[in-house]
Amino acid sequence: MEAIEELAVQPCTSSLYLRPFRLSYRQNGTKKFWDFMRTHDSVSILIFNTSRQCFVVVKQFRPAVYMCEIERHHPQVFHNQDKESFPSLENPLPAVVGVTYELCAGIVDKPGLSLEEIACEEVLEECGYRVSTADLRRITSYRSGVGVTGSRQTLFYAEVNDQMRTSGGGGQPEEGELIEVVEIPLEESMKFAYDETFPKTMGVIFSFMWFHNNIAPKLPKK
């Protein structure tokens, strides 16, 4: 996962996932504009393994996170963003600075499937557990990246056990996915959520808090 080589930054002129726009408008009599991206909505799933009392999350390299760290250490990298070429990354940072812990998730790009069906597919592909739509509990939906994309993410909760695991997960290599499945013990989850040495998404923090408020009090006492 961390064997990242031959880094090269270049302009993005077209994408299957991002479409840049500029909106001009008048607000309270003042002329304004705002640059934004249109992208897919998504689903995410908080997975709790009842056999071993742990959360199942994923770990993967995120180029956007990595490049934020690159710019922080080497701000000159993006100085030529309006030109054809960018400076080469002769001394790149270790890939680990771009690795994050996240909930199992996926984009909504299959019109024939419901959000629940897409969520089930992602749980199987990324984490190796076979769940049905009846196994899912919808927690809520919210807007992510409100200053840039404004896309909607819908969060589900699923309880699994060891018998429901049919593979090691890891995503779909043919689509370029390289995902590591990670288990976070319940008793360590809130410490993990607030430990900044483990880069993670807000979805992990929020969903762990939701679990401790709504599910944990109902668990059988040891």
The pLDDT value given to residue 90? 67
What pLDDT is recorded for position 221? 76
Q: Quick check: 95 and 3 in contact, CB under 8 A?
A: yes
Reported as type and span, the H/E element at residue 202 is helix 202-214
Tokens of 21: 């726009």
Whether 83 shows a pLDDT value over 60: the answer reads no
Average pLDDT over residues 39-49: 97
Number of helices and strands in the chain (H, E): 4, 9
**pLDDT exceeds 70 at position 144:** yes
Q: What is the pLDDT of residue 174?
A: 66
Q: Which domains does the chain have, with CATH numbers?
A: 20-83+90-215 (3.90.79.10)
95-106: per-residue pLDDT in tens? Answer: 999 999 999 999
Mean pLDDT of the region 100-119 = 97
Encoding tokens for residue 197?
């040495």
Confidence (pLDDT) at 106: 96
Band of residue 5 on the pLDDT scale cut at 50, 70, 90: confident
Specify the pLDDT at position 4.
79
What is the Cα–Cα distance from 143 to 151, expressed in whole angstroms? 6
User: Is the CB of residue 171 less than 8 Å from the CB of residue 128?
Assistant: no
3 vs 33, higher pLDDT:
33
Confidence of residue 173 (pLDDT cuts 50, 70, 90): low
Q: What angle do CA 151, 154, 157 make, to 5 degrees?
A: 155
Side-chain-side CA neighbours of 12 within 13 Å: the count stands at 10
Q: What is the pLDDT of residue 8?
A: 78
DSSP-derived letter for residue 17 is S
